[in-house]
Amino acid sequence: MRRRALAVTGSLHAALVALEAGDVVAAQPLFTDAREAHAAVASWAVDLVTLPVWVETSDEMIGAMERIVDATRRGDGAAAVQAANDFAALSDDGAMADRALRIAIGEGGSAVTAAPLRRLASILSAIGELRLAVASVRAAAGP
């Protein structure tokens, strides 16, 4: 999940750099990469309440960037500016979405490791009890 989410933000950043350099053609495949990584994260069937915050915000950011490119290709400066303003307005939401993603990743990691750690603790407890029983038998048997 972390790698896919980083691919979304990395692709968006690279697309922004390409747009700032005036290279609209280079930006387009980066949106495709961002959409694919985003779809992978969004499609995971996990019960993490904070993940939808990231999914929705990053989807809106990708959409705004795509509108910038589309408007630029069409030569519609007003639409490009509006899309850029929409993207900029999402910056506060982006910070909150990143925090939500970090929480979701932490919760997901805890959920994945909780059962094995409980089993390990149970086994270690049983081993401790067995050691006490063996020590008791040895003590009762004498030297």
- Reported residue count of the chain is 143
Digits of tens for pLDDT over the chain (143 positions)?
778 888 888 888 898 899 889 888 898 888 889 999 889 888 876 666 677 777 788 888 889 888 988 898 889 999 999 998 888 888 777 766 676 666 666 665 555 555 666 777 778 888 888 888 888 888 888 76
Predicted model pTM: 0.64
pLDDT score recorded for residue 91: 75
pLDDT, residue 57, reads 82
Instruction: Give the Cα separation of 122 and 94 in Å (integer).
Output: 42
Output the pLDDT for position 44.
Answer: 73
pLDDT at 89: 84
Cα end-to-end distance, the chain, whole Å: 59
Q: How many Å apart are CA 100 and CA 94, to the nearest integer?
A: 10
Q: In angstroms, rounded to a whole number, what is the distance separating the alpha carbons of residues 123 and 80?
A: 62
CA distances from 73 to 14, 20, 63, 68 (A): 18, 14, 15, 9
Determine the pLDDT at residue 46: 67
pLDDT the model gives residue 101: 65
Cα–Cα distance for residue pair 76/135, rounded to 1 Å: 84
